Amino acid sequence: MAQAQISPERPSIPKLDAAWLRQLALNCGADDAGLIEITRPALDDQRADILRAYPRAKTLLSFVCRMNREPIRSPARSVANLEFHHTGDQVNDVARTVVATLERQGVRAMNPAMGFPMEMDRFPGEKIWVVSHKPVAVAAGMGMMGIHRNVIHPKFGNFILLGTVLIDAEATAYDQPISYNPCLECKLCVAACPVGAISPNGDFNFSNCMTHNYKEFMGGFSDWIENVVDGKDRRAYRSKVSDTETASMWQSLAFGPNYKAAYCLSVCPAGEDVIGPYLSDKAEFLKEVVRPLMEKEETIYVVPGSDAESHVARRFPKKKIKRVGNGVRVRTISAFMRGVSLSFQPGQSKGLAAVYHFTFHGKEPRQATIEIRDGKLTVQEGHLGEADLRVSADSETWLGFLAKERSLLWALLTRRIRIKGSPRLLAAFGKCFPS
């Protein structure tokens, strides 16, 4: 009887009926669902990863589960995190039930995790997730990305979590992206973000967001462990980590990693079911939803010398700044090349206009051109244009220097790292990527 409620009778045709698949997802607990084919151009940058994980994938079923809005908006982040975790469990349950139902009907399918667990053998520096759910959801018509980098569903707004099922069968029809972006560009997410990770022009500072909001996830946990190891006694440990922070880390380890903010999601008024109070009284919406988060007295975690540090001091006088490491150490030159765009601090590059040519040799030979100009970063393969500074380095020595395991002075004296140009340009480069 329960099975009949979950699984509508599937038509016996070579391709899976698209309407049946969507209804299956809804019957299993999803709030909306869409389909895309594995050959969709929107998957070009992750298709190889998907097929590596599941070579049989032909159709991707994208679905959303709605979160309750009031808990997410609460200044008591324990309430918000409870909602995140419960909805995340629901997403994984929906995906698993869809796969189980398809399997019973002779259709192979796989359900990658909504979030954790992930492929941690690739951390840090490599992609640790099997499927990037956001671009899949956008391609399947589940919404559009707002300037806060969350998918905004046309009805539920950004109060959703995303799931994807990989199916070894084609569907009779596929969905397309929606024809408009629900994002209002109201900039409330810009105002509420405690570390200034979201720029009014749409730029996003991944490093600053990760350092604070994900303080008790991978990188933050690594930083905490190093504080434990470095402390020669309890007093040394307590001088770096408060009792409150120790308790919070214990809670994350026992229950699940807790987000420190996610205020961008909390204040977003977009979506048919969400927008009413904002349109009827914007001043009241600011007072009731946005201000309590902006004025909350809390600790904000920043990397020393980052744009986030100056942003908190300037915009949020009631919030306490704590300088931390983000715990991320790249271990390959490929990861370094990808990571510079994620850790770049535009505010720290003020006045810098330079082209850098990097030549790596040894274990991982590679050439690259990095240009910093007008607060923008460009990374390209090979040596392009005229360089203001040339850096030639043994790849392992360079990575050790970035991880603060090798001395730059030692590397320069032993010529494992060589520069041609002003050393000040190398110092200016490093200032743009604090860690």
Q: Is residue 179 part of a domain?
A: no
Interhelix angle 333-343/206-213, nearest 10 degrees: 90
The conformation of residue 288, written as its DSSP 8-state character, comes to I
pLDDT for 10: 55
* Residue 325 near residue 301 (C-beta atoms within 8 A): no
Token couple for 173: 């029809």
Note whether 62 and 104 are same-domain residues. Answer: yes
Q: Is 248 exposed, middle or buried (0-12, 13-18, 19+ CB in 10 A)?
A: buried
Same domain, 415 and 302: no
Q: Are residues 304 and 403 in the same domain?
A: no
Confirm whether pTM is higher than 0.95.
Answer: no
Both tokens assigned to 256: 């699940």
Per the structure block, which two tokens stand in for 279? Answer: 């349109």
- The answer to whether residue 87 is domain-embedded is yes
Q: Is residue 351 part of a domain?
A: yes
Q: Is there a single domain that holds both residue 108 and residue 240?
A: no
Give a yes or no: residue 162 inside a domain: yes
CATH number at residue 349: 3.30.1050.10
DSSP 160: E
Residue 181 counted as domain residue: no
pLDDT digits (tens, 9 = 90+) for 159-191: 999 999 999 999 999 999 999 999 999 999 999
Sign of the CA dihedral with 96 first, then 101, 104, and 108 last: negative
Q: Which residue has the tokens 């306490």?
A: 320
pLDDT tens per residue across span 45-71: 999 999 999 999 999 999 999 999 999
Would you say residue 7 lies in a domain?
yes
pLDDT in tens, 115-136: 888 777 777 767 777 999 999 9
Q: 299: pLDDT confidence band, cut at 50, 70 and 90?
A: very high
pLDDT tens readout for residues 386-432: 999 999 999 999 999 988 888 989 999 999 999 999 999 999 999 99
Q: Is 60 helix (H, G, I), strand (E, B) or coil?
A: strand
* Sole residue written with tokens 């359900």: 111
Q: Residue 218: what are its φ and ψ, rounded to 5°?
A: -60, -60
Domain's final residue, options 266, 296, 323: 323
- Looking at 133, 167, 201, which one is the last position of a domain? 167
Examine the domain organization and report whether 312 and 365 are in the same domain.
no
DSSP string across 209-235:
HHHHHTTTSHHHHHHHHHHHHH-SSHH
Do residues 348 and 305 make contact, with C-beta atoms less than 8 angstroms apart? yes
Based on the domain organization, do 343 and 249 belong to the same domain?
Answer: no
Percent of the chain clearing pLDDT 70 (strictly above): 97
Average pLDDT over residues 328-356: 91
Please indicate, yes or no, whether residues 220 and 294 belong to a single structural domain of this protein.
Answer: yes
Domain that holds residue 209: 188-323
The reply to whether omega before 434 is within 30° of 0 (cis) is: no
Q: Please tell me whether residues 226 and 356 are part of one structural domain.
A: no
How many domains does one find in the chain?
Answer: 3
How far apart CA 379 and CA 344 sit, in angstroms, is: 11
* 8 shares its domain with 129: yes
Asked if 309 and 352 sit in the same domain, the reply is: no
37, part of any domain? yes
DSSP 115: S
**pLDDT of 222 above 90:** no
Question: What 3-state class would DSSP assign to 309?
Answer: helix
Task: Look at residue 432 and give its three-state secondary structure.
Answer: coil
Among 135, 167, 199, residue at a domain's last position: 167
* Same domain? 314 vs 340: no
Q: What is the tens place of the pLDDT at every residue in 237-258?
A: 999 999 999 999 999 999 888 9
pLDDT tens for 80-103 read 999 999 999 999 999 999 999 999
Residue 59 lies in a domain: yes
Report which of 284, 300, 281, 277 is spatially closest to residue 69, judged by C-alpha positions: 277
Question: 339 and 310: one domain?
Answer: no
pLDDT reading at 7 higher than 80: no
CA 156, distance to chain mean position in Å, is 21
